[in-house]
């Protein structure tokens, strides 16, 4: 589905900026740009990949709209593989819009979300996983996440996928040969000559094993702060983020809604959720708030349980600990600035020894560094990616790899059972198709629409 029209969009974020860039791509890119660009020097040869200085004027030639630098990238040596023009103007949203309107008046079409990347994909400038890497890089919440996107853009993942695919194709050839020449080929011998299947399985499993860590790097950890009312959960959210986001009072039951904020700790994003205190609810609002706590805890990477060290432990405290027994927990004993009313030993028997208990004072900021370290350690979040890392950051890729792995297991089982080679060949072909979904060699338009429509306009 290659479109031959010429598209245009503002490629820089909306709002005032140092410069603003408008991107044009398609067969008429240069012709349309020439109609509104007046070079400052007479000689403007529109050489490829050269910057020219001049004015952008209105389509009727009467009004100067902006003073700009313009460049022309001749296809196929451009981002999209088509002729591309980039106009670097002053970053005024008003003028950017005005120039864009002129371009549309002269025959450009406003680009859809991700349409530049989509054209790059169709023109084989990028495979699908590389195009997805672009979106991941733009959205990266930390430098580590960006590095993973960059590695994917540079084709590290594609190379791994191609390697596994190549092995499966070699193995497939063996089985297809034994289907075609079943009489000449000694089937048993050739059937066992397929170490490629095991090798492909191993490399797919290695990729799959990176997903958990990659997810932490790209999406962060979901940390739900829980505990009975008034222990200092909201104070802790505020202390960890350095903001005054949640209301703090000395009245138990202050927080009812979920209060969400994030903070980056040692290169990992903590998605923090402050919640209603757990107790017998006093009204319908509190009841609703408490049921939200349990819902959120079910999907949390970590329950950060807050206890008040300055007053005796209560059944509510014990309930929160025992209900979270099977999840990843860190316990913060708060209000360490006040005299302690109980000893850590009182809760030690309730949790496994490796689970962390840290004394803090949310009000005065004591123990917070230790607490952050305990959160990161207990989730195993120690990102150390470099541009050579090959990690699976994308759920779609993970699902395709899992499907391919299943096909390989089925192929191996068919071999072990001594089934006809057709069965093994079928499973291997399916595995290859599943790998091709990642790079986009074989993918349906609906999935492509979904992927590219999630990109920003101008990307």
Ligand X SMILES: Nc1nc2c(ncn2[C@@H]2O[C@H](COP(=O)(O)OP(=O)(O)OP(=O)(O)O)[C@@H](O)[C@H]2O)c(=O)[nH]1
275 binds Mg ion (CB under 5 A): no
Which of Mg ion, ligand X, none does residue 337 bind (CB under 5 to 8 Å by kind)? ligand X
- How many helices (H) does the chain have, and how many strands (E)? 17, 13
Instruction: Please tell me whether residue 277 binds ligand X under the rule CB under 6 A.
Output: yes
Strands (E), 276-361: 302-308, 329-334, 356-359
Say which entry of ligand X, Mg ion, none residue 361 contacts (CB below 5 to 8 A, set by partner kind). Answer: ligand X
248 part of the interface to ligand X, by CB under 6 A = yes
Minimum distance of ligand X from residue 285's CB (angstroms):
13
Nearest CA among 148, 155, 44 for reference residue 393: 148
Peptide bond before 337: cis, by omega within 30 degrees of 0? no
Residues numbered 230 to 249 that lie near Mg ion (CB under 5 A) are 233-234
Residue from 234, 296, 324, 394 binding ligand X (CB under 6 A): 234
CA quadruple 182, 184, 189, 192: dihedral sign:
negative
| Nearer residue to ligand X within complex by CB, 199 or 370 | 370
229 near ligand X, judged by CB under 6 A: yes
Q: How many CB atoms lie within 10 A of CB 328?
A: 17
Chain residues 286-345 in contact with ligand X, contact rule CB under 6 A: 334-335, 337-338
Contacted by 393, from ligand X, Mg ion, none: CB < 5 to 8 Å by type: none
367 binds ligand X (CB under 6 A): no
Figure out which of the listed residues 194, 255, 393, 439 binds ligand X, where binding follows CB under 6 A: 255
C-alpha pair distances (Å), 147 with each of 29, 36, 218, 267, 271: 33, 39, 10, 12, 20
At its nearest, how many Å lie between Mg ion and the CB of residue 246?
Answer: 6
**Number of residues engaging ligand X in binding (CB under 6 A):** 22
Of the candidates 255, 268, 310, 393, which one interacts with Mg ion according to CB under 5 A?
A: 255
Q: Provide the angle, in degrees to the nearest 10, between the axes of the packed helices 421-439 and 395-416.
A: 170
Q: Alpha helix (H) ranges present in 312-444?
A: 315-323, 345-348, 368-378, 395-416, 421-439
Give yes or no for residue 6 binding Mg ion (CB under 5 A). Answer: no
Could you give the C-alpha distances from 270 to 40, 233, 299, 305, in angstroms and in order? Answer: 51, 15, 14, 15
- Examine residue 230 and tell whether it contacts ligand X (CB under 6 A): yes
334 contact choice in Mg ion, ligand X, none (CB below 5 to 8 Å, kind-dependent): ligand X
CA separation for the pair 9, 23 (Å, rounded): 6
Minimum CB distance to ligand X, residue 341 (Å)? 12
Alpha carbons 2 and 440: distance in angstroms, whole number: 15
Residues that bind ligand X (CB under 6 A): 229-235, 248-250, 252-255, 277, 334-335, 337-338, 361-363
Residues that bind Mg ion (CB under 5 A): 233-234, 254-255
């Amino acid at each position: 589905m290659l479109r031959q029209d010429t598209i245009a969009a503002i490629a820089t974020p909306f709002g005032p900026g140092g410069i603003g860039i408008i991107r044009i791509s398609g067969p008429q890119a240069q012709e349309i740009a020439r109609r509104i660009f007046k070079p400052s020097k007479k000689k403007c040869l529109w050489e490829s990949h050269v910057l020219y200085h001049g004015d952008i004027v209105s389509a009727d030639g009467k009004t100067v709209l902006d003073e700009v630098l313009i460049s022309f990238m001749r296809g196929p040596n451009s981002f999209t593989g088509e002729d591309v023009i980039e106009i670097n103007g002053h970053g005024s949203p008003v003028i950017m819009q005005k120039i864009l309107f002129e371009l549309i008046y002269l025959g450009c079409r406003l680009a859809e979300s991700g349409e530049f990347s989509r054209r790059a994909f169709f023109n084989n400038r990028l495979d699908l996983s590389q195009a997805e890497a672009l979106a991941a890089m733009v959205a990266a919440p930390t430098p580590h996440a960006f590095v993973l996107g960059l590695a994917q853009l540079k084709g590290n993942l594609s190379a791994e996928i191609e390697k596994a695919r190549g092995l499966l194709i070699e193995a497939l050839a063996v089985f297809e040969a034994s289907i075609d020449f079943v009489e000449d080929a000694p089937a048993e011998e050739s059937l066992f000559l397929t170490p490629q299947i095991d090798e492909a399985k191993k490399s797919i499993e290695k990729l799959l094993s990176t997903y958990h860590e990659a997810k932490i790097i790209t999406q962060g950890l979901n940390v739900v702060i829980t505990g009975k009312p008034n222990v200092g959960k909201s104070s802790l959210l505020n202390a960890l983020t350095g903001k005054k986001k949640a209301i703090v009072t000395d009245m138990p039951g202050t927080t009812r809604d979920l209060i969400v904020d994030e903070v980056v700790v040692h290169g990992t994003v903590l998605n923090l959720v402050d919640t209603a205190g757990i107790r017998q609810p006093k009204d319908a609002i509190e009841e609703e708030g408490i049921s939200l706590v349990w819902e959120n805890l079910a999907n949390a990477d970590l329950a950060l349980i807050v206890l008040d060290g300055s007053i005796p432990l209560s059944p509510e405290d014990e309930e929160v600990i025992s209900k979270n027994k099977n999840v990843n927990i860190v316990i913060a004993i708060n209000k360490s600035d006040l005299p302690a009313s109980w000893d850590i030993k009182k809760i030690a028997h309730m949790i496994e020894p490796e689970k962390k208990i840290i004394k803090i004072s949310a009000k005065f900021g004591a123990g917070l560094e230790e607490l952050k370290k305990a959160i990161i350690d207990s989730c195993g979040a120690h990102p150390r990616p470099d541009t050579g890392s090959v990690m699976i950051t994308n759920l779609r890729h993970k699902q395709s790899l899992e499907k391919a792995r299943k096909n390989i297991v089925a192929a191996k089982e068919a071999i072990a059972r001594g089934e006809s080679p057709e069965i093994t060949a079928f499973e291997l072909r399916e595995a290859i198709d599943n790998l091709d979904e990642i790079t986009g060699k074989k993918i349906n338009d609906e999935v492509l629409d979904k992927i590219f429509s999630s990109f920003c306009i101008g990307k």
